[in-house]
Amino acid sequence: MSIFPPEKRIWWKEPIERSEILWIVIALVWSLIMFVMMPYWHIAGEQNLSNEAYRIRPEVFAERTEAMAEKYTVREEGDTGIPVVHPPAGSDIYMLARLWEWWPVLELEKDQTYRLHLSSMDYQHGFSLLPENINLQIHPDYEMVVTIKPNRSGEYSVVCNEFCGIGHHTMVGRIHVVDK
C-alpha cells in the first residue's frame, strides 16, 4: 500500500533484494519464451491460418462472387433456393457475408486446393467453420484470402460468431466437400 510516502524517500537507490532479482529474471526469461513461442507455434503447431488480407470495395467483391456463381452453379438448395456453386479445383472461390446469410453455398472437391476469398457487404461478421475450429473476422472493405485444402468429405457449416443484429442467429452458411 502506498497511501503514505515510503520511509526512505530515495528508495530507488537501495540495493535490490535477492528475491526481487530472481523474480525479475524469471519474468524476463518467461516473457522471452512466450515471445519465441508465438512464431514457433504458428509454424510448427499448424493451428493458425496463414491468411492474407486486401482492401476491396463491397461492390467489387459482390461482382466477383456473382460472376463465379453465374458460371459454376450446379443446383439450388433449401427453401430460399440459394445457389450451390461447384467451382473448378484449384481456383479462386468467393463467399460473401451480409445480413443475414453467407452466399452462395460452395461445393468443393476433397484433396483439392482453393483460394477462398471472404468479405462482408455491410457490417462485421464472424466466419466460424464447423466442425473444424476455424475462425475469421470478416469486415466490409477488406477481403480475407485463405488457402484451403479440404481433407475430409462431408457437410460443413459456416456460423456467424460476431453479433450482427436481429437475424444473427439465423446466419448459417454451408460448404459441401465431395469425393472426386
Nine-digit cell at 168?
444473427
Among the listed residues 149, 145, 146, 126, the one whose alpha carbon sits nearest the alpha carbon of residue 136: 126
C-beta of 135: minimal distance to ligand CUA in Å? 13
Q: Does residue number 68 form part of the binding site for ligand CUA (CB under 6 A)? A: no
Rg over alpha carbons for the chain, rounded to the nearest Å, is 24
CA distance 164 to 124: 7
Q: By CB under 6 A, is residue 171 in contact with ligand CUA?
A: yes
- Interface map 72-101 toward ligand CUA (x if CB under 6 A): ----------------------------x-
Q: Give residues 104-143 in contact with ligand CUA (rule: CB under 6 A).
A: 125
Cβ neighbours of 17 (radius 10 Å)? 9
Asked if residue 164 binds ligand CUA (CB under 6 A), the reply is yes
163 binds ligand CUA, rule: CB under 6 A: yes
What is the phi/psi pair of residue 72, to 5°?
-120, 15
Cα–Cα distances in angstroms (integers) from residue 165 to residues 59, 118, 120, in the given order: 22, 20, 14
Task: Based on the shown chain and the rule CB under 6 A, indicate whether residue 64 belongs to the binding site for ligand CUA.
Answer: no
In the complex, minimum distance from the CB of residue 82 to ligand CUA, in angstroms, rounded to a whole number: 16
Q: Which of 129, 158, 160, 175 binds ligand CUA (CB under 6 A)?
A: 160
Give contact residues for ligand CUA (rule: CB under 6 A): 100, 125, 160, 162-164, 168, 171
